[in-house]
Amino acid sequence: MTSLLDPPAAHAAQTSWRRLPAGQQPSWPDAAALDAAVTALASALPLVTARECDLLRARLAAVARGEAFLVQGGDCAEELDAVNAASIGRTAGTLQQLAAVLGYARSLPVVTLARMAGQYAKPRSSPTEIRGGVELPVYRGDAVNGHAFTAAARTPDPHRLVRVHHTSAATVNLVRAYGAGEHAGPGQVLAALREFTDASPERDRYAALTAEIERAGGFTGTGDGWHTPGELFMSHEGLLLDYESALVRLDPATGGAYATSGHLLWIGERTRRLDGAHVEFFSRISNPVAVKIGPSIETDDLLRLIGRLSPEGEPGRLTLVVRMGAGKIRDVLPGLVERVTAEGLPVAWVSDPMHGNTISAPSGHKTRRFDDVLDELAGFFEVLTGLGAHPGGVHLELTGDDVTECVGGGDGIGFGDLPARYRSVCDPRLNRGQALDLAYRLAELLDTARPSSGAVRESR
């Protein structure tokens, strides 16, 4: 709540973080060029409106209350030169198909949130990369530098920030058009699930669920009217504070400051320190926000983080995205959930089963095993359900394209297949088939875990 004595909320959001340490920011070599980019962004049009952000916040409040399920996903890193309409349509379509399967499996309305239209900045483990004895700055996402291993490409260029805004605006525009048009209707989603099932090596395993979803008409929920199949919100990691801050706008209706680069922004695992600039910036914006939680987090720090990011404790404001690794989730998560629940803090719990399960293939490609991803998801559901809390959703790195970046899944992609179509410039994504495999396999696991699941199914 802002009082009349507070500095205008937008000004505070744009300035207060500057006195604090900001992790993972590029060293821009040309300060004047950065100023010019920030000035251009400061008068640029917003990509999203405050009311849309409020709507997503209300949707996520239903997730936090256990009344809805979140499906969030998209690229690890979007690429300015690779963005194209067909690929955006395929990824948006894949998210809608996942929503149909998981919404049916959970008997819950689904909130669909793309990692799209802004996912251009990457936190990295090391500031430099060495190849063949040559050391260059690491690739930090297309918002910062180029992926090619040359000194010119790897030099941070602030003009890229302006290109990110333009390209994200075009992406948002296209997704809205798809959502408003026929692409995302239940008929298209059902046809896509039928086509996937018929072509899958696992078709005998998936056929019954596909038929059930078809009989239910493909609606992902209880029919209370708030879920519209084409509704797709936009999210990205709010990493580059110069960019995010320049796009903050005051909402005259509420007096709140909104980050207008996307509906939901999240803080990554590497930049969530309590006394850091990211937590300060996020504490000042009115959007729904999320924070990634890795296995090293201490329970007391998590409680402090929740206090900073959601001081008023409103459901929908804060989503915790858990990314522990399949081998750790069952040990680390229970203590966190118990304390947060005991303190009565209304957060939404979501699983990112990707980032704790990255391995190196013999070829050197970064990859992830489908079975590890599924195992972490299973662990997430076991822990939350076992403690009487709501497993609120999934956060996946995926694409609608037929890439070969993760191993396993119905098509049995092996290490030797990775070079064929490894396109990601950062982390390995599930392709559409693997993402749907994951949804069907998870639905199956949840169904077997449920007592008298047959009776539940028949009563739908």
Ligand X SMILES: C=C(OP(=O)(O)O)C(=O)O
Q: Hey, which bits of 192-317 come out as E strands?
A: 233-237, 248-250, 257-259, 264-267, 289-293
Beta strands 358-360; 348-351: pairing state? unpaired
Q: Is 125 in the site for ligand E4P (CB under 6 A)?
A: yes
Residues in a beta bridge with 408: 413
Q: Which stretch binds ligand E4P (CB under 6 A): 49-57, 120-128, 343-351, 417-425?
A: 120-128
CB 129, CB 149: distance < 8 Å: yes
Kindly tell me which of 123 and 276 has the beta carbon lying closer to ligand X: 123
φ/ψ bin of 255: left (φ > 0), alpha (ψ from -120 to 50), beta (otherwise): left
Q: Is 209 in the site for Mn ion (CB under 5 A)?
A: no
Q: Is 76 in the site for ligand X (CB under 6 A)?
A: yes
Amino acid identity for residue 32 in this structure: A
Total interface residues for ligand X by CB under 6 A: 10
Residues 386-445 that bind Mn ion (CB under 5 A): 427
Which of 57, 59, 106, 122: binder of ligand E4P (CB under 6 A)? 122
Q: Using H for helix, E for strand and C for coil, what is the string for 160-213?
A: HHHHHHHHHHHHHHHHHHHHHCCCCCHHHHHHHHHHHHHHCCCHHHHHHHHHHH
Sign of CA dihedral 112, 279, 349, 432: positive
Kindly tell me which of 13 and 239 has the beta carbon lying closer to Mn ion: 239
CB 310, CB 347: distance < 8 Å: yes
Kindly tell me which of 43 and 125 has the beta carbon lying closer to ligand E4P: 125
Which of 258, 427, 431, 442: binder of ligand E4P (CB under 6 A)? 427
Residues 21-80 that bind Mn ion (CB under 5 A): 76
DSSP 291: E
Q: Is 323 in the site for ligand X (CB under 6 A)?
A: yes
Tell me the CA distances in angstroms from 152 to 157, 301, 426, one per residue in order. 10, 40, 19
Site string for ligand X, 243-282 (x = CB under 6 A): -------------------------xxx------------
Q: Is 368 in the site for ligand X (CB under 6 A)?
A: no
> SS3 for 255?
coil
Q: Which residue is nearest to ligand X (CB)?
A: 268
Residues 73-132 that bind Mn ion (CB under 5 A): 76
Q: Which does 125 bind (CB under 5 to 8 A by kind): Mn ion, ligand X, ligand E4P, none?
A: ligand E4P
Residues 1-60 that bind ligand X (CB under 6 A): none
- Give the residue among 369, 390, 257, 288 at the shortest CA–CA distance from 54: 288
Q: Is 76 in the site for ligand E4P (CB under 6 A)?
A: yes
Q: Which stretch binds ligand E4P (CB under 6 A): 102-110, 121-129, 256-264, 277-285?
A: 121-129
Cα Dmax for the chain? 67
Kindly tell me which of 364 and 451 has the beta carbon lying closer to ligand E4P: 364
Shortest Å distance, C-beta 74 to Mn ion = 10
> SS3 for 222?
coil
Phi, psi of 52 (to 5 degrees): -65, -40
Cα 181 to chain center, whole Å? 24
Quickly tell me which residue has 């937008």 as its tokens. 10
Q: Is 123 in the site for ligand X (CB under 6 A)?
A: yes
Which of 99, 111, 345, 426: binder of ligand E4P (CB under 6 A)? 426
Residues 163-182 that bind ligand E4P (CB under 6 A): none
Which of 46, 89, 123, 186: binder of ligand E4P (CB under 6 A)? 123
Kindly tell me which of 50 and 241 has the beta carbon lying closer to ligand X: 241
Shortest Å distance, C-beta 121 to Mn ion = 11
Shortest Å distance, C-beta 137 to ligand E4P = 12
Q: Which does 11 bind (CB under 5 to 8 A by kind): Mn ion, ligand X, ligand E4P, none?
A: none
Kindly tell me which of 52 and 427 has the beta carbon lying closer to Mn ion: 427
Shortest Å distance, C-beta 141 to Mn ion = 10
CB 315, CB 322: distance < 8 Å: no
- Give the residue among 54, 37, 47 at the shortest CA–CA distance from 248: 47
> Alpha-carbon distance 94 to 102, whole Å?
12
- Give the residue among 288, 249, 292, 297 at the shortest CA–CA distance from 267: 292
Kindly tell me which of 206 and 370 has the beta carbon lying closer to ligand E4P: 370
Residues in a beta bridge with 267: 291
Residues of the shown chain interacting with Mn ion in the complex, contacts defined by CB under 5 A: 76, 427
Residues of the shown chain interacting with ligand E4P in the complex, contacts defined by CB under 6 A: 76, 122-125, 426-427
Residues of the shown chain interacting with ligand X in the complex, contacts defined by CB under 6 A: 76, 123, 237, 268-270, 292, 323, 355, 427
